[in-house]
Structure 1
Amino acid sequence: MTVNENYKNPTKSHVLIFPFPAQGHMIPLFDFTHHLALRGGSAITITVLVTPKNLPFLSTLLSAGLNIETLILPFPSHPSIPSGVENVQDLPPSGFPSMIHALGSLHAPLQSWITSHPSPPVAIVSDFFLGWTKNLGIPRFEFSPSAAITCCILNTLWIEMPIRKNDDEILEFPKIPNCWKYPLSQISTIYLSYVEGDPAWEFIRDCFRDNATSWGLLVNSFSAMEGVYLEHLKRELGHDRVWAVGPVLPVSEGNNRGGPTSVSVDHVMSWLDARADSHVVYVCFGSQAVLTKEQTLALASGLEKSGVHFVWAVKEDSSPRGNILEGFEDRVAGRGLVIRGWAPQVAVLRHRAVCAFLTHCGWNSVVEAVVNGVLMLTWPMRADQYTDATLVVDELKVGVRACEGPDTVPDPDELARVFADSVTGKQTERIRAAKLRKAALDAIQERGSSVKDLDGFIEHLVSLSL
């Protein structure tokens, strides 16, 4: 993405970027920040706020030679967060609410920094878990690392607060296009955990409500994929300051996008180079999900029985349960590559050999699969993953269901059939995936819809400094 030479404002517009400290949230916002800096050129200056232990995630961005500064604030203490922990990856999934609440304590030092800065920011772009940043006296733009449809559902949940009864209850969203509905068990766990009257939970509720009354919204999506939901958001929010700026892709491959790994990137790429086109299934469940022993064994059995070539990124917990895959790698030698830890997912999905992706349906994974035309085999487990799976399978029709639920142990024989069919069949879904890939790439070309939206956002930032 090139610099837009049309920005002639002699006064630079200073914008503050504030990510939520979870890998799946920081990475897309930092990638967006990179594109913002490149596209805005000399018209804007950027400051990124991080806590000390999350500074390494910024290394690729800071080494790019762009006009980007850092604001490092100490992580606030919180009774539910162990000392030294500054990232959600170091907490169980239930730690999200505590992290949201803890970061609210940065309001005072951040307000002090803004008011004392010689050239204070004209706006702040912050993650959708940081709604309280709307109350800093400058326009706040919500950045959603999730789908537009997820924004629609979250706004409805936290504003209307539908009554929660039991897990079998079907919650309907008739005001949202296509009349989405879900069993209560598949709704946001943060929403389901809300305790009325509890100060911490009232703060979290207000954070989500602040999203709906913030100055604007940036979504990691594009109009050809979610146009109907983007238009719904504009109607519900009552303004047109909604910009679809995705797919937000890395400008360059960095070494600090993930975590430790057992296999080098070069080895993974060489292994894939030796495979035939569209014959490899990639298996990965994101940065947080850890399969149980029973789920891991069922998945291993399904892969073994399927006969397909595969790359499997295994995230293991810290419990001393031994190598539960002992003997498996020997039995699948030559057609299976097991990576313990972080996998270079963007590069893997881009590779010509990869044809299908067993995924938990985190939005980053969905976007990365879409932009590479890879068929998705869905296994949603929590949060917005059920919504993403429905969008992928039922609306976009670029995926098929493989399993669902955090505790479900799949039938290995059924999994084997899904894997084998993903390589040899599913031609209709593949054609749709290829068309959606083209639409995604068109959106980020020079005159594409997402580039136009990014330009529109930058023009708006410039106008705020006039």
Structure 2
Amino acid sequence: MASNLHFLVIPLMCPGHLIPMVDMAKLIAQQTVAVTIVITPRNAERYGAVLNRAVASGLPIRILKLRFPALEYGLPEGCESVDDLPSFTLSKNFFDASAKLQQPLEEVFGELKPRPSCIISDKHLAWTADVARKYQIPWVIFDGMSCFTQLSTHNLCVSKSHEKVADSEPFILPGLPDSIVVTKSQLPGLFNPGNSARAKEMKSVREHIRAAELGAYGTIINSFEELETRYIEEYKKLKQGRVWCIGPFSQSNKNDLDKAQRGSKASINEHDCMKWLDSQPPGSVIYACLGSLTRLTPPQFIELALGLEESRFPFILVVKGGSRAEEIEKWLGEDGFEERVKGRGVLVRGWAPQVLVLSHPAIGTFLTHCGWNSTIEGFSAGVPMITWPQFADQFFNERVAVEVVGTGVAVGAKTVMHLGEEDEAGIQVKREDVCRVAKIIMDEGREGEERRQKAKYFQEMARKTIEEGGSSRHNLKLFIEDIMLHTNKGLAG
């Protein structure tokens, strides 16, 4: 059907952006469309296992490696991903270095065969719009966010209702199908940038990205119609129908090896982790992971750990300290926490095979930072969620889980913790909050049972939607047909 099409996929080098775009590339290639993924050498190594297996299976996927100019922009050698940054004060350096991939890409563009039919780029790489314009092909953006977030962002940009309230004053998000209340201090950086020098630098980056994305040909979303039906309908109206929800992308990983190797190399032996889960009763374990970029301060991490201990439920806790890792390890050693929870609690330092873990029947709930990837992975796994948003769109995603879908319970975080400004936020969530919400979500009474039934319903919807006859599979075909039509028109013209 689409063998003469060739899509150029350009991800932002950051796990929460790159992983879903690799999954998306596989879904597109399964429709016999040639896909070339533009990636840097270190990331090609990091995500190579899944990509190489996809290529070996016969999918028409190619990898184009471009050198990342880390040293030229004041970044350490080999720093090719946002989660490699020694400090988030270097974020702008990273975006500036990423923009320098434009020239080497244009130098090899003419050698790409067949000629690319469109560019699907992470929206944060605004320079890719110039490449698409230069070669007169559609620039389609991938936005790793929900249609709820898209619609809320658009409505806030137009209404500016957040500018009329104090930081902690609740207000209703304008123009949504449901009445959703937030505070200004819970909004993403575009509306709530923070006060640091980095925040001021990033404000101009965000505004540039926002201006560029308004000119995109269309948008691909990692969501599915059954999940946020009315939000998708409203957002499509805004974008003249050129919104294609083709998720959940993580469903492209059918075997355990792909689930395990999705992302960095896991820092725990998958076999040992799964063996421990096998020994636990169904639906009994709390899986706590706050994403690849979140850096809890040591005092906040201690509250989380002790809250899980006090809950008395078995748990897996993913430990990510970044530059504070030593302090966290010191506390773990001195307090004797690890020894006390031995057998009941498993600590994973660094990367965890999240999709694999979530798909295990022993998992009863997912304590999450509400990044959209994690949130939709939670829906797809059919597990209720304890929501603990940190920054960016995460308070919006909490509202989706708790109020729109109804499978989440909020732990009580009140404000965004901007990257690099975590210490200023202090302790937002106490151990008693963690313990209390764990007991609510694991409760075997009527409310708990209703939440679990809803979670299982959305798990089933997530599974069906990418299969033949499902809404996401249908939307993917519509997207490919749209690009094919555009390409044929161009050839005829």
TM (norm. structure 2) is 0.84
* Residues in 1 aligned to 2:209 and 2:160: alpha-carbon distance in whole angstroms: 14
- Secondary structure in 1 matching 2:331: coil
- Pick which of 331-340 and 149-158 moved more: 149-158
Residue in 2 that maps onto 1:168: 168
- Secondary structure in 1 matching 2:37: strand
Question: Per the alignment, do residues 176 and 110 of structure 1 end up closer, same or farther by CA in structure 2, a change over 3 Å counting?
Answer: farther
Q: How far off is 1:291 after superposition?
A: 1.6
* Residues in 2 aligned to 1:421 and 1:63: alpha-carbon distance in whole angstroms: 42
- Secondary structure in 2 matching 1:424: coil
Residue in 2 that maps onto 1:50: 39
Residue in 2 that maps onto 1:219: 221
- Secondary structure in 1 matching 2:228: helix
Q: How far off is 1:205 after superposition?
A: 1.8
Question: Per the alignment, do residues 357 and 117 of structure 1 end up closer, same or farther by CA in structure 2, a change over 3 Å counting?
Answer: closer
Residue in 2 that maps onto 1:186: 186
Is 1:73–2:66 an aligned residue pair?
Answer: yes
Is 1:362–2:371 an aligned residue pair?
Answer: yes
Letter of the 1:223 counterpart? E
* Residues in 1 aligned to 2:90 and 2:177: alpha-carbon distance in whole angstroms: 32
1:6-405 aligned at under 5 Å gives the runs 7=1, 12-38=4-30, 40-41=31-32, 44-56=33-45, 57-64=47-54, 65=56, 66-76=59-69, 79=73, 81-91=75-85, 92-93=87-88, 95-115=90-110, 117=112, 119-135=114-130, 136-137=132-133, 138-156=137-155, 164=163, 167-168=167-168, 173-178=173-178, 180-193=180-193, 202=204, 204-237=206-239, 239-249=240-250, 250-251=252-253, 252=255, 253-254=257-258, 256-319=261-324, 320-321=326-327, 322-326=329-333, 327-404=336-413, 405=415
Q: Of 415, 430, 437, which aligns to 2:452?
A: 430
Question: Is the 1:222–1:443 contact (alpha carbons within 8 Å) kept by the matching residues of 2?
Answer: yes
Question: Per the alignment, do residues 189 and 104 of structure 1 end up closer, same or farther by CA in structure 2, a change over 3 Å counting?
Answer: same
Once the two structures are superposed, residues 353-409 of structure 1 have per-residue CA deviations (whole angstroms, 9 ceiling, x without a partner) of 111111111111111111111010011011111000011101111010113144434
Letter of the 2:284 counterpart? H
* Residues in 2 aligned to 1:203 and 1:383: alpha-carbon distance in whole angstroms: 14
- Secondary structure in 1 matching 2:346: strand
Q: How far off is 1:200 after superposition?
A: 8.0
Letter of the 1:61 counterpart? L
Question: Is the 2:190–2:207 contact (alpha carbons within 8 Å) kept by the matching residues of 1?
Answer: no
Q: How far off is 1:297 after superposition?
A: 1.6
Once the two structures are superposed, residues 210-247 of structure 1 have per-residue CA deviations (whole angstroms, 9 ceiling, x without a partner) of 2222111110000111121212222212x212111011
Question: Is the 1:97–1:204 contact (alpha carbons within 8 Å) kept by the matching residues of 2?
Answer: no
Letter of the 2:100 counterpart? S
Residue in 2 that maps onto 1:413: 432
- Tell me the C-alpha RMSD between the 2 structures: 2.6
Question: Is the 2:261–2:353 contact (alpha carbons within 8 Å) kept by the matching residues of 1?
Answer: no
Q: How far off is 1:161 after superposition?
A: 6.5
- Pick which of 256-265 and 84-93 moved more: 256-265
Question: Is the 1:122–1:465 contact (alpha carbons within 8 Å) kept by the matching residues of 2?
Answer: yes
Identity %: 32
Residue in 2 that maps onto 1:4: none
Question: Per the alignment, do residues 76 and 180 of structure 1 end up closer, same or farther by CA in structure 2, a change over 3 Å counting?
Answer: farther
Unaligned runs of 5+ in 2: 418-424, 489-493
Q: How far off is 1:158 after superposition?
A: 5.4
* Residues in 1 aligned to 2:297 and 2:68: alpha-carbon distance in whole angstroms: 32
Question: Is the 2:266–2:353 contact (alpha carbons within 8 Å) kept by the matching residues of 1?
Answer: no
Question: Is the 1:303–1:416 contact (alpha carbons within 8 Å) kept by the matching residues of 2?
Answer: yes
Question: Per the alignment, do residues 346 and 117 of structure 1 end up closer, same or farther by CA in structure 2, a change over 3 Å counting?
Answer: closer
* Residues in 1 aligned to 2:221 and 2:113: alpha-carbon distance in whole angstroms: 31
Question: Is the 1:132–1:206 contact (alpha carbons within 8 Å) kept by the matching residues of 2?
Answer: no
Count, aligned residues: 452
* Residues in 2 aligned to 1:362 and 1:309: alpha-carbon distance in whole angstroms: 24
* Residues in 2 aligned to 1:345 and 1:391: alpha-carbon distance in whole angstroms: 20
Q: How far off is 1:154 after superposition?
A: 3.4
Q: How far off is 1:181 after superposition?
A: 4.7
- Pick which of 157-166 and 267-276 moved more: 157-166
Letter of the 1:356 counterpart? T
Q: How far off is 1:306 after superposition?
A: 1.3
- Secondary structure in 1 matching 2:63: strand
* Residues in 2 aligned to 1:232 and 1:349: alpha-carbon distance in whole angstroms: 31
Letter of the 1:114 counterpart? F
Once the two structures are superposed, residues 129-172 of structure 1 have per-residue CA deviations (whole angstroms, 9 ceiling, x without a partner) of 12332232220111122111122233445567677575335565
Once the two structures are superposed, residues 85-130 of structure 1 have per-residue CA deviations (whole angstroms, 9 ceiling, x without a partner) of 2110022455545433432333333334335646321100011212
Question: Is the 1:155–1:208 contact (alpha carbons within 8 Å) kept by the matching residues of 2?
Answer: no
Once the two structures are superposed, residues 239-261 of structure 1 have per-residue CA deviations (whole angstroms, 9 ceiling, x without a partner) of 21211101112424335433354
